[in-house]
Amino acid sequence: MRRLFGVALALVATIAVAAEIAPEARRSGYGFASAETRVTQDDDTANPGMLWVSQGEGLWTKKAGAAGLSCRDCHGDAQASMSNVAARYPAFDAALGRPIDLEQRINLCRTEHQRAEPLTWESEDLLALTGFVAHQSRGLPIAVDDNPELRPFSALGDELFHRREGQLNLSCSQCHDDNWGKRLAGSVIPQGHPTGYPVYRLEWQSVGSLQRRLRNCMTGVRAEPYEYGAPDAVALELYLMERARGMTIETPAVRP
Amino acid sequence: MPRVLINLPERATRGEIIEIKTLIQHPMETGYRLDSNGARIPRDIINRFACTYNGEEVFRVELFPAIAANPFIAFSTIATETGELVFTWTDDDGQTQTESRRITIE
Amino acid sequence: MPIRCPQISLSAPEGGEGRGEVGEIQASPDCIAHLTLPVADATGPLPLPPQAGGEGKLGGYRPTRRWILVAAAGGGLASLAPKATATEAAMADAIRELIGEAPLERGKVKLELPSIVENGNAVPLTVSIESPMTEADHVDSVHIFNQKNPQPYVAAFHLRPRAGTARVSTRIRLADSQRVVAIARLNDGSFWSDSADVIVTLAACTDQ
């Protein structure tokens, strides 16, 4: 991370006012990726993320847990039942009294309905199922609920997004609101919209969740990354999805 | 069983050159990476991919660690007759994975 | 110490074949030579500066690219001067093992790689060879080599006339900015090649 240090110092030195991106100026990370990466994403037979989607399709029909139920047993054909789900997550869970993201929703189904062990974060199976479900929202606009119960959590996410953190003392906003389009260590800084998660990141050589990507950013500024599933992480996810409201879901996206 | 995606037309005209695209889920561990303890992660790659068409080999490739994870291989073949294309991936341990697809010639 | 700037193009006389040549050197008034691609074209000691006119005086002869790189090194660009690495030698050996004493011809082969990649983990590569792909005249195999990965081999494709076209695609890993070489072996035993230089950038904000 030494290579980031010099750039970070320059960023810290400038007094930048955190300016939100105008709705019409929002662009998906797809637009910031190279032509080759875009071609890879567009071709379902060359997009490595589709391997996980295909795996998820298989898991959808696999019976699991003490209840011996598969996802399909309750939800039927995913193309119909899951069609607008990922676009609306994180969603408010009344029982827990807080928002949960798609991974947590899948695990709640596993533990409460299938009576199975929850899947661990970033495990192949959880990524495959999340990828498969999110893929059913491909082409649809992000439409997180405008539920008043979500407001305090998205306000927290907003605050976290604008809060400086880490040894480099940078906030998400400083890169992704103020300096998008510019370069950081040879890579173009995108605006940070979660339009294609779980995403096939070339750097990971694998599909990964939004929370993994956020942890990478936090490691990048030398902050302690959120634990997987932490309320702060979900609040930030919620804020990011609201910030990207109306943008099109691309799962599985390919990013550098 | 690693996931595989194969793209080839189900039907073709006789003599047509068809493009076949294949994608298989595999980390293609190079053998050069170190784990968090500094120990070398052993090499584990798919080192061979072959395609036969009604039993006759029409394409083969030897792969090395420099091939990216989740190997994507695209090649072409002439649609000669109706039949079966069989795709085989072989890894360093000699384990194979085989998939087949039918093609109908009109 | 400012260096007298070369007035002539450093590309090969006919404008270069394929994309294997080092990019143009742009000379600014202070003559900071900006080398677009630092690529060694052979392993071996760099030549001494030309005798005629001595160091710095360019009249009367055509300086070689390598000499300009040496001169540029004096301007603090030593890191861009070509260095022989273990894999470059290994690549040369691997190519020699394939072609033996046969000549390596330029032409027929087209190696397509992006000139800058966002991530060296998955670089799309396509090789196509002009060939009728008949029994009498076809491509037997296509071999891909690299210059700076830990080992020089990338892939060896084996084709038949039944391929119809000699065109293959895959995605490769490149550990660093480097040259990639594709060599096709035709059924008549001749070898044809193309090469491409790729700049590899690193990702920011990773797991580590």
Mean pLDDT (chain B) is 96
Residue C61 pLDDT exceeds 50? no
DSSP C163: G
Q: Strands, DSSP E only, in chain A?
A: 91-93, 98-100, 183-184, 187-188, 199-201, 206-208, 254-255
Interface residue of C116, C117, C119 to substitute, partner A, most A CBs within 10 Å? C119
**pLDDT at residue A31 is higher than 90:** yes
Mean pLDDT of all residues in C119-140: 96
HSE on the CB side for B8, CA within 13 Å?
32
Whole-number Cα distances in Å, A107 to A70, A123, A237, C182? 13, 12, 17, 48
pLDDT at A1: 62
Q: Where are the domains of chain A?
A: 1-256
**If you measure CA to CA, which chain A residue comes closest to C113?**
A36
User: What would the mean pLDDT of A77-102 be, rounded to a whole number?
Assistant: 96
- Which of C123, C124, C206 is opposite residue A203, by nearest beta carbon? C206
**A216 contacts in chain C (CB < 8 Å):** 205-207
pTM, 2 dp: 0.80
Question: Between these two residues, A133 and C24, which has the higher pLDDT value?
Answer: A133
Placement of tokens 């510019």 in the chain: A182
Share of residues in chain A with pLDDT > 90 (%):
90
Tell me which of A41, A42, A43, A45 to substitute to probe the interface with B (most B C-beta atoms closer than 10 Å): A45
pLDDT (0 to 100) of residue A8: 59
Residue written as token pair 């609920």: A145
Cα C112 to Cα C19: distance, rounded to the nearest angstrom? 9
pLDDT at C203: 77
Question: Which structure tokens are listed for A127?
Answer: 């990524």
Residue C86: which pLDDT band, with cuts at 50, 70 and 90? Answer: low
Tell me how many residue pairs between chain A and chain C have CB atoms under 8 A apart: 61
Rg (CA), chain A: 18
- When pLDDT is averaged across residues C108-114 and rounded to a whole number, the result is 97
Check CB contact under 8 Å for B74 and A46.
yes
- The residue behind tokens 């996802």 is A71
User: Does a cis peptide bond (omega within 30 degrees of 0) precede residue A198?
Assistant: yes
What is the pLDDT of chain A when averaged over all its residues? Answer: 93
For the domain made up of A1-256, give the CATH fold. Answer: Cytochrome Bc1 Complex; Chain D, domain 2 (1.10.760)
Q: What tokens does C199 get?
A: 């700049």
CB atoms under 10 Å from CB of A229, counted, come to 15
Q: Which residues of B touch C (CB under 8 A)?
A: 17, 30, 32, 53, 56-69, 71-78, 80
Looking at per-residue pLDDT, the higher value among A210 and C31 belongs to: A210
Nearest-by-CA chain B residue for C150: B32
Q: Are C139 and C109 in contact (CB under 8 A)?
A: no
Checking if the pLDDT of B102 tops 70, the result is: yes
pLDDT, averaged across chain C: 71
- Report CA-CA distances (Å) from A222 to A157, A176, A202, A217, B86: 19, 17, 22, 9, 50
What pLDDT was estimated at residue C21? 33
> CB of C26 within 8 Å of any CB in chain B?
no
Backbone phi, then psi, for A21, in 5-degree steps?
Answer: -80, 135
Do C95 and C181 meet the contact criterion of CB atoms below 8 Å apart? Answer: yes
Residue B8 to residue B21: CA distance in whole angstroms: 7
For the segment C158-169, what is each residue's pLDDT rounded down to a tens digit?
A: 999 999 999 999
Please report the domains of chain B, with CATH numbers, ordered by start residue: 4-105 (2.60.40.10)
* 3-state secondary structure string across chain B: CCCEEEECCCEECCCCEEEEEEEECCCCECCCCECCCCCECCCECEEEEEEEECCEEEEEEEECCCECCCCEEEEEEECCCCEEEEEEEEECCCCEEEEEEEEEEC
- Structurally, at CATH architecture level, domain C86-200 sits in Sandwich (2.60)
Q: Give per-residue pLDDT as tens, A36-65.
A: 999 999 999 999 999 999 999 999 999 999
Cα–Cα distances in angstroms (integers) from residue A147 to residues A85, A86, A98, in the given order: 15, 16, 11
- Closest Cβ opposite residue A46 in set B3, B25, B72: B72
Q: Do C157 and B60 touch (CB under 8 A)?
A: yes
Give the integer Cα–Cα distance in Å for A44 and A238.
28
In chain C, where the domains are located: 1-84, 86-200
Listed as own residue / partner, the contacts of B94-100 with beta carbons closer than 8 Å and 24 or more positions apart are B97/B1, B97/B2, B97/B4, B97/B24, B99/B4, B99/B6
Helix (H, G, I), strand (E, B) or coil at C9: coil
pLDDT value of position C87: 77
CB contact under 8 A, B23 and A206: no
- Is any Cβ of chain B less than 8 angstroms from the Cβ of C180? no
Confidence (pLDDT) at A153: 97
Whole-angstrom CA distances from B95 to A48, B66, B90 are 22, 20, 6
Reduced to 3 states (helix: H, G, I; strand: E, B; else coil), residue C8 is coil
C-alpha distance from C66 to closest chain B C-alpha (Å): 29
Q: Select from A256, A255, A253 the least CA-distant residue to A50.
A: A253
Q: Please report the ipTM that was assigned to this predicted complex.
A: 0.96
Q: What single DSSP character describes residue A31?
A: G
Active site residues of A: 217
Residues 6+ apart with CB under 8 A from C24: C9, C10, C11, C36
Q: Which residues of B are less than 8 Å from A43 in CB distance?
A: 21
Distance separating alpha carbons of residues C198 and A128, to the nearest angstrom: 33
B46-88 pLDDT tens trace: 999 999 999 999 999 999 999 999 999 999 999 999 999 999 9
Contacting subunits of A (3+ beta carbon pairs below 8 A): B, C
Do B68 and C123 make contact, defined as CB atoms within 8 angstroms? yes
Smallest Cβ distance to B23: which of A48, A55, A205? A48
Check whether C72 has a pLDDT greater than 70: no
pLDDT by residue (tens digit) across A150-209? 999 999 999 999 999 999 999 999 999 999 999 987 789 999 999 999 999 999 999 999
Burial class (CB in 10 A: 0-12, 13-18, 19+), A145: middle
The pLDDT, as a whole number, for residue B97 is 97
Which among A185, A233, A183 is positioned nearest to A213, based on CA atoms? Answer: A233
Whether the bond into C63 is cis, omega within 30 of 0: no
pLDDT tens figures, C6-41:
443 333 333 333 333 333 333 334 433 333 333 333
Judge contact between B28 and B46, C-beta under 8 A.
Answer: yes
| Look-up of token digits 């599933």 | A229
